[in-house]
Structures are given as structure tokens and as C-alpha cells.
């Protein structure tokens, strides 16, 4: 889909005006009869509201002719009161109906937005920044919703008032309508100027808000890292810079609004002056009456009121339209073709051929990487920090697309990292996220296999116990067992564990290692090993260094070879021996 250019070339797309209108029209399907009813009711209600200016013009002519009496005044008063009541009631019903249709269509868009956001390729979200997606599903939705109370009445009333007022002016005397039409180009030029400037400014304002959200989110997520590395001042500067960016664009938006008000006030002055001048010449030529000129002037004044009201909410309208385009930009992202795939033999589960990958414009993490993982084998990847292990797991999982080469993997692939999340809800709902049809006996079997069956004895309501935020707190080890049980229920063809048990600590290391082993039993597995004890139990070990595979083989083969892995294993065994002695001495 086409999208406007943004500061970040990897940002999520923004729908164009035509795409936004097309999508809103599509979402209005099923509501178009009600929309037609709103249009008819709005026109009738506004037409009733035209009666008072016409009656006042009639009264003026009656007074000038000396034929007005008490009955005339009472009749005019009664008609004005009746038209005011009926017009106000009709307008109120029109606004209520329009608001209900608006929120119904918006609800459909929000469902589509959330549904698409949950299925976006993770590499797309990662490259755009999670703050961009969060901003669109929160700030932009809020902007569109909050605009409804002010924008809908103003837009609805203004649209119908313009149509009916022009018809009323033409009915009085075509010259009055022509006089107003002559001034319309002023409004057209003003709106063309604003539509050229406004959307760009408001779009930049929303983009700046996304950048600010990204900076705040990164600071919150990396709180421990920020404190540990002393990056507080740096993160504070980044957040403040992003916040000032929002302030600058917000100020520009307010300046644009002020300039728009000045231009529209000029148009209002010209409209009223033109109609009065035409009325003067028509009366002088006996082509119109004073009452007719009075009615025409009142109609113009009545038309300027809704336009002024629209000026006050045009800020919200443009902000809502900018947010709506950003929402639709995500909701209508087409399904991509995915990364190039390789032809895989039936006995090969994963195949990487000459794969290269780099983060943005940075140096390549690895280049010309080739790796085959046979079906049913468990492969461990080890290496020093920065060797490219996690990146390899992400590329195989499809989170990152390779810059070159091809990646083939099973259709059902699941990745678990050390960042385990417990959702607010019951234990059952947490476990069945990836397997909604799982029965209780399946859940119990998964908990038993991962060594978490004892957790049920600790929870007051068993599987129905609320956990996560505001619920029963789980330890890090229990949360990781939960994630492994989740994977077991999902039953993927390929399971990738990226240091999924790294947060356990020595106390629960053995327990979680056994849980991970049970999870991988009978399926193809890729383990980014945090502890070499995990790697030793795998069928094959891949050693990485600076993005290259430098050794591969079984545990015994690599130890016997005395290479990099052999050195790591010797150092790890020595460290374990020292730790055991310390623990025995301490006890």
C-alpha cells in the first residue's frame, strides 16, 4: 500500500487520504441505510431552522407596509418557537444517530487494527520500533475517540447548514446565492492552504509522539541496564529531546490553527459585505424588499456560526484524521511474501544457505552463514556474548529477515526467550494461549512434564487462579516453567529456546534444564545455551564466534578435539567445582 514518507524509513505505513476514505467506506457497509436516514433527517432539521430568518424578513416587510398587527406578531412568534423546537430536536437526533454510526464503524476499525497488530511479522514491528505500534493502538485510538463529541456535531451541522442556506438564499433571490457563491473561492483557497499544511504538521506531531513513546518505552524496559551502566543522564537526554520534538510540532500546529482562524474571519467579512451590497442594489432597483435583504443577511449570519464552530474543532478534526490514517495504515498492511525460502529435504527441518544479516546500517552480524538442522535433532548453539547466537535464533524464527540468502523452517515454529511474560488472567488462560482447545488433562500433563505440577497445590483456585498483574505472584522459575508448558501445549515442529532458562539461577537450574529437555523431547530443537550442561545433552553443538560457525560436532567430539568448545567446557567444569566447594564450605 502507498504511504506518506516518514522520518523513519522503517516506520509502519500511514494510509493516504484516498486509502483512508476507501477503508472507511468499506467499514460503513451495513450502516449505509442509517447514514442515508441521518442525511435526510439532517436536511429536514436544518430546513426547519431556516424558517425563522424567512419569517423575520416577512415581518419586516409587513411592518414597512403597515399591515402588521398583533395577530401577525403572535403568528410569527409561534412559528419561530415551533421551528426552533422542531429544528433543535431534529438536529439532536441527527447528531445522536451520526455519533452511534461513527462509534460503530470505529469499533470495527479498532478490531481490525488489533487483529492485524497481533499478527504483524515481528521483524516489521522490531524495525519500526514497538513504540510506533503502541502509539497507534493507544494514542491514535484515543485521539479519534476523543474527537467525536466535538467534531461530529460541528461537521454534521455545518455540512447540512451550508446546503440548506444556499438553497434558502437562492429561493429568496438568486443574486443573494450568487453573491455568496462568489466569495466561496476564498474559503476554498483557505481550505486548500490548510489541507496542504495541516495534515503534514499534524502527521509530524503524531510521529513525534511515537518517537517519544519509543524512547520512554525503551527506558522503562531497560531500567536495570540503564542503572547498571550509568546511562541515566543519556536516557534522560533522549527522552527530553523526543519530548521537545513533540512540543515544537504541537506549537506549530497551534500557529497553523491561528492562521486558519484569521483567514476564515476574512472570508466571513467578505461574505456578509457582499450580500449586504447586493441587497442594497436589489432594493434600489426594486428587485428585492428590505425584508428579503434582511432574511438573506440573517441566513448568511446563521451560516457563519457553524463555520466558526468548525474552526474551533478543526484542530481536533485534523488530529483525528492524522490518527485515523495511522490506524488504517496498520490495519490494512498486506500480508507480505515473507523471506525467500530454500528447498529442504524431508529429513532436514531447518536450512540456512549463505545467510547474511545486519541491524539497520550497522555491520553484518554474520555473512554467508550455512547451517542444516536435521528433523528430530536438538542442536545447541554456544559462544561468547556478541557471537551472534540470539540473532541466529531470531533469523531462524522469522523475527528478522535475512539481508541475503535463504532460510527454510517448519511452518509451526515457536521461540521462547529468557524474557518470559505472565499475562493477567487465570493460569488456564495463560497456558492455553497457543492451544485454545487444550483440555484440562492436557494442561496437567504439560505441567507434569515440565515439573510444575506442584504449582497447582500452591494456587488457591488451581487452574482458575488469577496470576500476573494483580493476581498470584509467580517466581522467575515458575514463570519459565509456565512458558515451557505453554510451548509443550502448542506442540510446534521446531522449538527454539533462546536462553529460556537463564534467569533461573543455580537453585533451579537443574529443574528448568530437565523441563526444557522434556519440552524438546520428540521434536526438532534449537537451544541457545546459557549453561554448557544444557549443550552437553544435545545431539550436536554449534560453536559461534563473531558471527561465524567455527566448530560443530557432538559434545564428546568437541571436548576430545580440544578446541574452543573444549576450552569452554574445561573452564566451566572448573568454575562448577569451585562453586560446589564454596557451597559445601558455607553449609
Fold match between 17-331 and 348-586?
Answer: no
What is residue 481's predicted lDDT score, i.e. its pLDDT? 87
- Where are the chain's structural domains? 17-331, 348-586
Distance CA 364, CA 392 (A): 12
What is the distance between the alpha carbons of residues 159 and 107, in angstroms, rounded to a whole number?
24
Q: What is the mean pLDDT of residues 272-277?
A: 87
φ/ψ bin of 114: left (φ > 0), alpha (ψ from -120 to 50), beta (otherwise): alpha
Per-residue confidence band for 2, with pLDDT thresholds at 50, 70 and 90: very low
Interval 128-140 mean pLDDT: 79
Residue 94, all three cell numbers: 441527527
364 vs 126, higher pLDDT: 364
**Closest CA relative to residue 481, chosen from 521, 513, 441:** 513
Q: Is 336 exposed, middle or buried (0-12, 13-18, 19+ CB in 10 A)?
A: exposed
Q: 334 with 1: CB under 8 angstroms?
A: yes
Average predicted confidence (pLDDT) for the chain: 83
The answer for residues whose C-beta is within 8 angstroms of residue 349's C-beta and 6 or more apart is 373, 374, 375, 376, 377, 409, 410, 493, 494, 524
Using the predicted structure, report yes or no on whether residue 537 has a pLDDT greater than 90. Answer: no
Pairing mode, strands 378-382 and 540-545: parallel
Is the confidence at residue 127, as pLDDT, over 90?
no
* Location of C-alpha cell 496542504: 196
Rg, the chain, Cα only = 35
Q: What is the pLDDT of residues 462-496, one digit of tens each?
A: 888 998 888 888 888 888 888 889 889 988 999 99
> 137, 175 in Cβ contact below 8 A?
no
* pLDDT for the residue 373: 92
pLDDT in tens, 297-323: 888 888 777 776 776 676 677 778 888
* Range ranked top by mean pLDDT from 99-103, 120-124, 165-169, 222-226: 99-103
A 10 A CB-CB count for 70 gives 7
Q: What pLDDT is recorded for position 524?
A: 92
Q: Give dist(CA 328, CA 91) in Å, integer.
A: 30
Q: How far is CA 333 from the centre of its chain?
A: 12
Using alpha carbons only, give the angle 500, 504, 509 rounded to the nearest 5 degrees: 95
Contact predicate 559/569, CB 8 Å: yes
How confident is the model over 213-219, as a mean pLDDT? Answer: 82
Helix (H, G, I), strand (E, B) or coil at 467: strand
Q: What angle do CA 15, 18, 21 make, to 5 degrees?
A: 90
Report phi then psi at 365, rounded to 5.
Answer: -70, -40
Confidence of residue 231 (pLDDT cuts 50, 70, 90): confident
| Model confidence band, residue 508 (pLDDT cutoffs 50, 70, 90) | low
Average pLDDT over residues 385-414: 88
Residue in the structure block whose three cell numbers are 516506520: 11
- How buried is 16 (Cβ within 10 angstroms: 0-12 exposed, 13-18 middle, 19+ buried)? middle
DSSP 8-state symbol, 275: H
Beta partners for residue 369, in sequence order: 355
Please write the tens of the pLDDT for every residue from 422-464.
Answer: 888 898 998 888 888 889 899 999 999 888 888 888 888 888 8
Res 94: pLDDT: 87
CA distance 454 to 475: 13
170 CB neighbour count, 10 Å cutoff: 15
DSSP string, 205-245: HHHHHHHHHHHHHHHHHTHHHHHHTT-HHHHHHHHHHHHHH
107-124 mean pLDDT = 82
Q: Is 76 exposed, middle or buried (0-12, 13-18, 19+ CB in 10 A)?
A: middle
Of 142-151, 297-306, 398-407, 509-518, give the range with the top mean pLDDT: 398-407
- pLDDT, one tens digit per residue, over 191-209 is 778 777 877 887 788 788 8
Given a cut of 50, whether residue 4 has pLDDT beyond it is no
Please give the CATH topology (third level) of the domain spanning 17-331: ABC transporter transmembrane region fold (1.20.1560)
CA dist., res. 119 & res. 112, Å (int): 11
**DSSP assignment, residue 331?**
H
- Decide if pLDDT at 229 tops 70: yes
* Confidence class for position 355, pLDDT limits 50, 70, 90: very high
What's the mean pLDDT in 117-133? 75
The domain 348-586: what is its CATH number? 3.40.50.300
Percentage of residues in the chain having pLDDT higher than 70:
92
- Concatenate the DSSP letters of all residues of 38-85 into one string: HHHHHHHHHHHHTHHHHHHHHHHHHHHHT---HHHHHHHHHHHHHHHH
Would you state the pLDDT for residue 295? 87
Let me know if 298 is exposed, middle or buried by CB neighbors in 10 A (0-12, 13-18, 19+). Answer: middle
Query: What local confidence, expressed as pLDDT, does residue 173 receive?
Result: 83
Residues 135-176 pLDDT 10s: 888 888 888 888 877 788 778 777 788 788 888 888 888 888
Q: pLDDT digits over 64-110, tens only? A: 888 888 888 898 889 889 988 998 898 889 888 888 888 888 888 88
pLDDT of residue 10: 65
Amino acid at each position: 500500500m502507498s504511504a506518506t514518507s516518514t522520518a523513519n524509513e522503517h516506520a509502519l505505513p500511514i494510509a493516504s487520504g484516498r486509502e483512508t476514505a476507501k477503508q472507511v467506506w468499506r467499514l460503513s457497509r451495513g450502516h449505509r441505510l442509517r447514514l442515508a436516514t441521518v442525511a435526510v433527517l439532517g436536511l429536514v432539521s436544518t430546513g426547519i431552522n431556516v424558517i425563522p430568518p424567512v419569517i423575520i424578513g416577512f415581518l419586516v416587510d409587513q411592518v414597512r407596509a403597515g399591515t402588521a398587527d398583533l395577530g401577525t406578531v403572535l403568528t410569527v412568534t409561534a412559528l419561530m418557537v415551533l421551528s426552533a423546537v422542531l429544528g433543535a430536536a431534529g438536529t439532536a437526533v441527527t447528531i445522536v444517530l451520526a455519533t452511534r454510526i461513527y462509534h460503530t464503524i470505529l469499533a470495527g476499525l479498532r478490531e481490525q487494527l488489533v487483529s492485524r497488530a497481533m499478527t504483524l511479522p515481528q521483524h516489521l514491528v522490531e524495525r519500526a520500533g514497538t513504540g510506533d505500534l503502541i502509539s497507534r493502538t493507544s494514542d491514535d485510538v484515543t485521539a479519534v475517540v476523543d474527537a467525536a463529541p466535538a467534531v461530529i456535531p460541528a461537521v454534521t451541522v455545518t455540512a447540512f447548514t451550508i446546503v440548506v442556506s444556499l438553497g434558502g438564499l437562492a429561493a429568496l433571490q438568486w443574486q443573494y446565492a450568487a453573491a455568496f457563491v462568489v466569495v466561496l473561492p476564498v474559503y476554498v483557497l483557505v481550505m486548500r492552504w490548510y489541507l496542504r499544511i495541516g495534515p503534514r504538521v499534524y502527521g509530524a506531531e503524531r510521529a513525534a509522539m511515537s518517537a517519544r513513546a519509543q524512547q520512554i518505552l525503551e527506558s522503562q524496559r531497560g531500567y536495570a541496564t540503564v542503572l547498571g551502566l550509568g546511562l541515566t543522564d543519556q536516557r534522560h537526554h533522549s527522552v527530553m529531546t523526543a519530548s521537545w520534538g513533540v512540543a515544537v510540532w504541537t506549537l506549530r500546529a497551534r500557529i497553523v490553527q491561528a492562521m486558519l482562524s484569521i483567514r476564515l474571519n476574512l472570508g466571513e467579512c467578505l461574505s456578509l459585505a457582499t450580500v449586504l451590497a447586493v441587497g442594497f442594489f436589489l432594493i434600489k432597483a426594486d428587485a428585492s424588499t428590505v425584508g428579503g435583504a434582511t432574511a438573506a443577511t440573517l441566513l448568511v449570519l446563521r451560516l457563519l456560526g457553524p463555520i466558526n464552530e468548525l474552526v474551533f474543532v478543526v484542530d481536533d478534526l485534523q488530529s483525528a484524521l492524522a490518527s485515523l490514517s495511522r490506524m488504517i495504515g496498520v490495519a490494512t498492511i498486506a500480508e507480505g511474501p515473507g523471506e525467500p525460502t530454500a528447498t529442504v529435504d524431508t529429513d532436514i527441518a531447518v536450512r540456512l544457505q549463505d545467510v547474511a544479516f545486519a541491524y539497520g546500517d550497522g555491520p553484518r552480524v554474520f555473512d554467508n552463514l550455512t547451517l542444516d538442522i536435521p528433523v528430530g535433532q536438538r542442536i545447541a548453539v554456544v559462544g561468547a556474548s556478541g557471537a551472534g547466537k540470539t540473532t541466529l535464533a531470531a533469523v531462524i524464527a522469522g523475527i528478522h529477515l535475512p539481508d541475503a540468502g535463504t532460510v527454510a523452517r517448519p511452518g509451526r515454529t515457536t521461540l521462547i526467550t529468557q524474557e518470559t511474560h505472565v499475562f493477567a488472567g487465570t493460569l488456564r488462560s495463560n497456558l492455553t494461549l497457543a492451544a485454545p482447545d487444550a483440555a484440562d488433562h492436557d494442561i496437567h500433563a504439560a505441567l507434569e512434564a515440565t515439573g510444575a505440577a506442584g504449582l497447582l497445590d500452591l494456587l488457591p483456585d488451581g487452574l482458575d487462579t488469577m496470576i500476573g498483574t494483580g493476581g498470584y505472584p509467580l517466581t522467575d522459575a515458575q514463570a519459565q516453567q509456565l512458558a515451557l508448558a505453554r510451548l509443550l501445549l502448542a506442540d510446534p515442529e521446531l522449538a527454539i529456546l533462546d536462553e529460556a532458562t537463564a534467569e533461573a539461577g543455580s537453585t533451579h537450574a537443574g529443574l528448568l534444564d530437565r523441563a526444557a529437555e522434556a519440552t524438546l523431547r520428540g521434536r526438532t530443537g534449537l537451544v541457545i545455551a546459557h549453561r554448557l550442561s544444557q549443550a552437553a545433552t544435545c545431539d550436536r553443538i554449534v560453536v559461534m564466534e563473531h558471527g561465524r560457525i567455527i566448530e560443530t560436532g557432538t559434545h564428546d567430539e568437541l571436548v576430545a578435539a580440544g578446541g574452543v568448545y573444549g576450552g569452554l567446557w574445561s573452564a566451566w567444569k572448573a568454575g562448577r567445582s569451585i562453586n560446589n566447594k564454596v557451597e559445601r564450605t558455607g553449609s
